[in-house]
Structure 1
Amino acid sequence: MPGLDLLATFVEIYRCGSVSAAADRLGLTQPAVSGQLARLEEQLGEQLFVRSRRGVTPTAHAADLAARVGTHLDELRAALSPSGAGPAHVGTVRIAGPGELIAMRVLPTLSPLTTRGLRIHVTLGLAGELLRELSAGRVDLVVSAIRPTQQDIAATVLVDEEFVLVGPPNLARSVDTARLADDPVDALAHLPLVGYADDLPIVRRYWLSEFGRRPPNTVSVIVPDLRAVLAAVIAGAGVSALPRYLAESALSAGSVELLHEPAAPPLNTLYLATRTGALVHPPLALVHDHLRTRAHSWGAL
């Protein structure tokens, strides 16, 4: 089992994004930190970071390890501090993401930390706009439905969300099941769509993934909140593709029905995005690690 000193050094490298920055924070020489990382990689039997001139990039195993041990190391430091409460739980973290995911998953996960001094400020919106806010330094962490491409942003996989195509019972009954099997685009073409944005990002992705074509359907409602999309679908405005976690209760209640059952459910990966090197700040590191750890219990959304 790796020692706590090696794990602590690993977490510092992960959060800083470079060996030299981690060495500065730990008060060690760069060769000493590199040596500790090498010993940890040897004990685990695999590489944790990919080195480059810009720093280090964590492997998938490193991101998973940081999520599992980072928060526990912070809590251990807090327990051993003279006051019994460390600075990692004190401060404000500006979180941004889609309203429905923030409300239904992120805030319930993070709210227990507020009893220990953490303050959370939330901004809601679309991923592209929020990632620009992150680059500009106006938010600290974005839960993003798209993988960031900006060089100044580091992204870590959070969880996969599963999409389902749903509609109200009366519209579901209007679909010819035989035509649906032979030509699903044609069989569904008469159904109006309810979308999240003008370019129908989720609906379009579902059609392209499952049917190989864009939807030719008319659009009845555009609203940038998936909870409102679901409400419009339940009210009979049209059909839509939604994350399963959001539609599950309506499906169970019979308010909506599945219009299509794919052989393998279409998935979309959600990311935690921060500015490169920003995880050196304890409150942000705490939130980042806490979400990564707790997301394992969410399963595929």
Structure 2
Amino acid sequence: MDTRRLYSFIKIVDAGSITRAADILHIAQPALSQQLSALEAQFGQQLLIRSKRGVAPTEAGRALYRHAQLILRQVDLAHAAVEVSGRAPAGSVSVGLAPYSMGAALALPLLRSVRERYPDILLHINENFGGVISEAIMTGRMDMAFIYGAGPLRGVQFEPVRSEDLYLIGAPTDGGEAGEVALEELAEVPLLLPSRIHTIRQVVDSAFQQAALRPNVVGEVESALTLVNAVDADLGATVLPWSAARAILDVRALTVRRIAHPVIRVQLSLVTSDSQPLSEPALAVHDLFLELVTAFDKE
């Protein structure tokens, strides 16, 4: 198969127009149309639906689009592996980190360690929600991610790294047991939490539901910076693992109490594709990440 045709097909789908894709690729439109016709003949399927507004992939076209991304990524990895064989790992590595997780505490150390140990690796760090990150790994747009959850999820494999208890941060003391707060007490606390797409919110909601209680959510905050400012301004308390809290908040100036009766715990995992092996530079970053997690636990 001519990988150039696959590349052109991806560009056509992304552009939504053969004309726009031809401009992007600097190819004459008739030549690009011939490449598309050759692909459709090869697969014996119509891959695009043409209309006055442009083109859109058929079901077969969407399937080819996904596989074409994986195939071209493997080709790129093969070129990179051959080019740097016998030398220090080099190339691009994309790492996803779940917001409000231990990843916030490890992002800077990871970037620093990669630069010091593997100067030829270009590290791309992306903070996003687990579902978005998992999809990026399945489609080959991201190498690995540090997210909440332990799977299973088709297309990715979970490598459990650690579990963390959740803490109430920012709420005033109320005479309860020192260092801890019962879930029942939280029902009256104004809470600033991420939206329901986030694992932390799902875990908190589930704990309240099992206790036949409702959390007093006064704001849904996706931005770490906004959360920091809101908690500092005493607009509400939040719920975070200790590692994430100390990475983004001045916990010395806040009340920090472990949620108990019952304890609420989240699982953190390192996630990779279950169909694509890690490239040499990605494997180096993977091992370095686990090394940093181990060092963090000893602090």
CA–CA separation in structure 2 for the residues paired with 1:135 and 1:204: 23
Give TM-score scaled by structure 2 length. Answer: 0.58
Provide the aligned C-alpha RMSD in A: 3.5
**Is residue 2:113 matched to residue 1:112?**
yes
**Is residue 2:197 matched to residue 1:196?**
no
**Is residue 2:165 matched to residue 1:162?**
yes
Superposed, 1:122-161 pairs within 5 Å as: 122-161=125-164
**Residue 219 of structure 1: how far off its partner (Å):** 2.1
Residues 1:251 and 1:267: Cα distance change in structure 2 (over 3 Å): farther
Deviations 1:159-203, CA, capped at 9 Å, x for gaps: 3333211224xxx24x4649xx99852x43332210111467425
Residues matched between the structures, number? 210
**Residue 98 of structure 1: how far off its partner (Å):** 2.1
Alignment partner of 1:279 out of 272, 277, 280 = 277
Query: What's 1:93 paired with?
Result: 93
Counterpart AA for 2:284:
L
Contact 1:207/1:214 (CA < 8 Å) preserved in 2?
A: no
Residues 1:300 and 1:203: Cα distance change in structure 2 (over 3 Å): farther
CA–CA separation in structure 1 for the residues paired with 2:192 and 2:158: 30
CA–CA separation in structure 2 for the residues paired with 1:184 and 1:280: 42
Counterpart AA for 1:290:
L
CA–CA separation in structure 2 for the residues paired with 1:182 and 1:257: 11
Give TM-score scaled by structure 1 length. Answer: 0.58
**Which 5+ residue runs of structure 1 have no aligned equivalent?**
1-82
Over the matched positions of the two proteins, sequence identity in percent amounts to 18
**Which 5+ residue runs of structure 2 have no aligned equivalent?**
1-83
**Residue 286 of structure 1: how far off its partner (Å):** 0.6
Counterpart AA for 2:94:
R
CA–CA separation in structure 1 for the residues paired with 2:152 and 2:203: 19
State the SS of the aligned residue for 1:296.
Answer: helix
